Amino acid sequence: MKKTKKEEEILRILEGNARLSDAEIAQMVGLDETEVKGLIAELERKKIIRKYKAVINYEKAGVETVQALIDVKVSPERNTGYDSIAERISRFPEVTSVRLVSGEYDLSVLVSGKTMHDVAYFVAAKIAPLEQVRNAVTHFLLKTYKENGEIYGEEEQGKRLAVTL
C-alpha cells in the first residue's frame, strides 16, 4: 500500500484510540514499530495530528459545566473574509471550537462555562460587542448523546425492555 494509505489507517486508529502503543498500531497496519513511530512523529510535525484528547462525560464525573452553541452572523472583512473574526473569537478561553458554516449564520461557536449565566455573560460582553458581529443566537446544550464518536449511555444498551401485550 502507498505511504498515504498507511498514514490514513494510522490516523483512523489514533482517532478511535490514541492510547494504543506504536507496537499495537504497527501490528494493525502491517508495518514495524519504528516505521509507525516515524510516521506518527511526521504527522505531528506537520500538524496533521493536532492533539491527543480524552472524551470525558463531565455529568457522570459530577463536574458542573454548561455548553452552548452560538450561531454568529458576521460582516466579512476585506482581504481576510471570515478568517480574522473567526481567529479573534477562537482566542477567547471560553471557546471550544469555531467553524465556518453554510446557511443563515456564518460561524458556529461552541463555548463552555460553569453556569448558564457565565455563558450568557460571555456572549453579551465578548461576542456581541465585536464590530463584525451582526447577530448571534445562543443554543444551550441540554444533554449529550454522542461526542467525538463516543455514544454516552452505552452501558444501558444491554438492558432488555419488558414486553407486555
Q: Tens of pLDDT along 17-29? A: 999 999 999 999 9
Does residue 83 register a pLDDT over 70? yes
Helix 22-29, helix 33-45: angle, nearest 10: 100
Q: Which CATH class is domain 64-142?
A: alpha beta
DSSP states along 58-96 = HHHHT---EEEEEEEEE-PBTTTBTHHHHHHHHTSTTEE
Cα 89 to Cα 30, 51, 103, 107, 124: the distances in Å are 43, 20, 19, 10, 13
The answer regarding whether domain 3-45 maps to CATH 1.10.10 reads yes
Which has more confidence, 152 or 72? 72
- Percent of the chain at pLDDT exceeding 70: 91
Terminal alpha carbon distance of the chain: 56
Query: How many residues make up the chain in this entry?
Result: 165
Domain spans of the chain, in order of start: 3-45, 64-142
Does residue 41 register a pLDDT over 90? yes
Which has more confidence, 154 or 31? 31
pLDDT for the residue numbered 160: 56
pLDDT for the residue numbered 158: 54
> pTM for the full model?
0.79
Q: Tens of pLDDT along 43-68? A: 999 999 999 988 888 888 888 999 99
pLDDT for the residue numbered 155: 61
Does residue 1 register a pLDDT over 60? no
Q: Spell out where 101-161 has E strands.
A: 107-113, 133-140, 146-147, 150-151
What radius of gyration do the chain's Cα atoms show? 21
pLDDT for the residue numbered 156: 53
* Separation between Cα atoms, residue 6 and residue 24, nearest integer Å: 14
Does residue 8 register a pLDDT over 60? yes
- Residue appearing with cell numbers 473569537: 89
pLDDT for the residue numbered 162: 61
Q: Tens of pLDDT along 121-162? A: 999 999 999 999 999 999 999 998 998 888 887 665 555 556
